[in-house]
C-alpha cells in the first residue's frame, strides 16, 4: 500500500509541472501584457516595457517557467503583480473558504443523489423512478452559472431570503452550495441508479431472495453494499470538479475564495496569482483522488490485494 501511495505522490510532479506550463503558455501568449492592464492607458511603450521588465515578464518563456518552478520547490509561490504581496498570503485565507463550500456541496450532493439513486432503482418504472430521473436529467444538463443566477434571482432578489453579496455569514454559503451541488447530485443519482440496477440482477441477489431473505435485507445488506463501491469513486471525482467549479460560483456570488481570486488574476494578467491558484487546485484534486482510491481499496478486498501486489 505504501508503495502505491509513494507512486501516486510522485505522479503529482508531472501533473503540477504540466498545469504550470499550460497556464504560463496561455497567459504569456494571450493579447496584452501585465503592464498595459495594471498601469492602464496614457503611458508610453518605453514605460510599459520598463514595468514589464521590473515584473520579469520580458524574460524568455522558459526562463520564467523554470524560475517559477525552482522557487516553487522552495515553497515560494511568487509575488503578485497586482497586490504587491506574496501569493501565499493571498491564498492562505481563501483556500479554507473554497474548501468549505466544496465540502458542503459534496455532502449535499451525496445525501441527495445516493438515496434517490437507490430509491429509483428499487422502484423502477414507477412514478418514484420517472419523476426523479427526469429532474436529474434537467439538473445534470443545467450549467452551474445559469442555475446560480436562477437561485439568486428567486431566493435572494424576489423572496429576499438570502443576501446577493457575501457578508461572511454561514447562510451566505447556502445558495452557492446549492448551485454547485445540485448538478452533481443529479449525476450521482443517475450513476447510483445504474449501479443498483446492475447489482440487483446479480446471482447473489437472486440467491438471497430464494433463501427467503426479506426484501429490505436483500436491498440494504446485499445490493446497496456492493452497488455503492463504484459510487465512491464518482463522489471523489465530483470533489475535484466542484473545487474547480468554485471559479464560477465564487465570482457569481462574490465569495472571497480561491475561485474569485483566480478570475481577478486572469483579468489582471497576474501570472503568479493564477499559477498559484492552479497549483493548489491540482494538488487538492490529486490528493483527494488518491485518498478515494485508498478508501476504495480498504472497502473492496479485491482492490486492496491488487494494491499490495
Residue 303: the pLDDT is: 58
Residue 302: the pLDDT is: 59
pLDDT at residue 76 is higher than 70: yes
Say if residues 49 and 58 touch (Cβ distance below 8 Å). Answer: yes
Per domain, the residue ranges of the chain are 18-88, 95-256
Residue 16: the pLDDT is: 82
For residues 194-219, average pLDDT: 80
- For a pLDDT cut of 70, what percent of the chain falls above it? 93
70: left (phi over 0), alpha (psi -120 to 50) or beta: alpha
**Picking from 140-149, 205-214, 273-282, which range would have the lowest pLDDT averaged per residue?**
205-214
Cα 285 to its chain centre, rounded Å, is: 7
Residue 1: the pLDDT is: 63
- For a pLDDT cut of 90, what percent of the chain falls above it? 1
For residues 72-92, average pLDDT: 86
Give 249-292 pLDDT, tens digit per residue. 888 888 888 888 888 888 888 888 888 888 888 888 888 877 87
What is the Cα–Cα distance from 4 to 294, expressed in whole angstroms?
Answer: 9
Helix (H, G, I), strand (E, B) or coil at 79: strand
- Whether the model pTM is above 0.85: no
Residue 60: the pLDDT is: 82
Residue 307: the pLDDT is: 52
In angstroms, the Cα distances linking 27 to 15, 51, 164, 269 are 18, 17, 31, 7
Phi, psi (degrees; rounded to nearest 5) at 51 = -70, -40
Domain 95-256: CATH superfamily, name plus number: MetI-like (1.10.3720.10)
Q: Which pLDDT band holds residue 301 (cuts at 50, 70, 90)?
A: low
What is the Cα–Cα distance from 56 to 185, expressed in whole angstroms?
Answer: 45
In which residue are the cell numbers 454547485 written? 180
Amino acid at each position: 500500500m505504501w508503495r502505491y501511495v509513494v507512486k501516486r505522490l510522485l505522479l503529482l510532479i508531472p501533473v503540477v509541472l504540466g498545469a504550470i506550463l499550460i497556464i504560463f503558455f496561455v497567459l504569456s501568449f494571450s493579447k496584452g501584457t501585465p503592464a498595459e492592464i495594471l498601469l492602464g492607458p496614457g503611458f508610453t511603450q518605453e514605460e510599459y516595457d520598463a514595468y514589464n521588465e521590473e515584473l520579469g515578464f520580458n524574460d524568455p518563456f522558459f526562463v520564467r517557467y523554470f524560475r517559477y518552478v525552482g522557487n516553487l520547490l522552495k515553497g515560494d509561490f511568487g509575488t503578485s503583480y497586482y497586490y504587491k504581496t506574496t501569493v501565499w498570503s493571498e491564498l492562505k485565507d481563501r483556500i479554507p473558504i473554497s474548501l468549505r463550500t466544496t465540502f458542503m456541496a459534496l455532502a449535499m450532493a451525496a445525501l441527495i443523489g445516493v438515496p434517490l439513486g437507490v430509491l429509483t432503482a428499487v422502484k423502477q418504472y414507477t412514478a418514484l423512478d420517472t419523476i426523479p430521473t427526469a429532474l436529474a436529467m434537467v439538473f445534470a444538463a443545467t450549467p452551474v452559472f445559469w442555475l446560480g443566477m436562477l437561485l439568486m434571482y428567486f431566493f435572494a432578489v424576489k423572496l429576499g431570503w438570502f443576501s446577493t453579496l457575501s457578508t461572511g455569514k454561514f447562510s451566505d454559503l447556502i445558495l452557492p452550495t446549492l448551485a454547485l451541488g445540485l448538478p452533481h447530485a443529479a449525476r450521482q443519482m443517475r450513476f447510483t441508479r445504474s449501479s443498483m440496477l446492475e447489482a440487483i440482477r446479480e446471482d447473489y441477489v437472486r440467491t438471497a431472495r430464494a433463501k427467503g431473505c426479506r426484501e429490505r435485507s436483500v436491498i440494504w445488506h446485499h445490493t446497496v453494499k456492493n452497488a455503492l463501491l463504484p459510487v465512491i469513486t464518482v463522489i471523489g471525482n465530483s470533489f475535484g470538479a466542484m473545487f474547480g467549479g468554485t471559479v464560477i460560483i465564487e465570482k457569481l456570488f462574490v465569495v472571497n475564495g480561491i475561485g474569485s481570486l483566480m478570475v481577478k488574476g486572469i483579468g489582471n494578467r497576474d501570472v503568479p496569482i493564477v499559477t498559484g491558484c492552479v497549483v493548489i487546485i491540482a494538488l487538492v484534486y490529486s490528493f483527494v483522488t488518491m485518498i478515494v482510491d485508498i478508501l476504495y481499496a480498504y472497502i473492496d478486498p479485491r482492490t486492496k490485494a491488487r494494491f499490495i501486489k
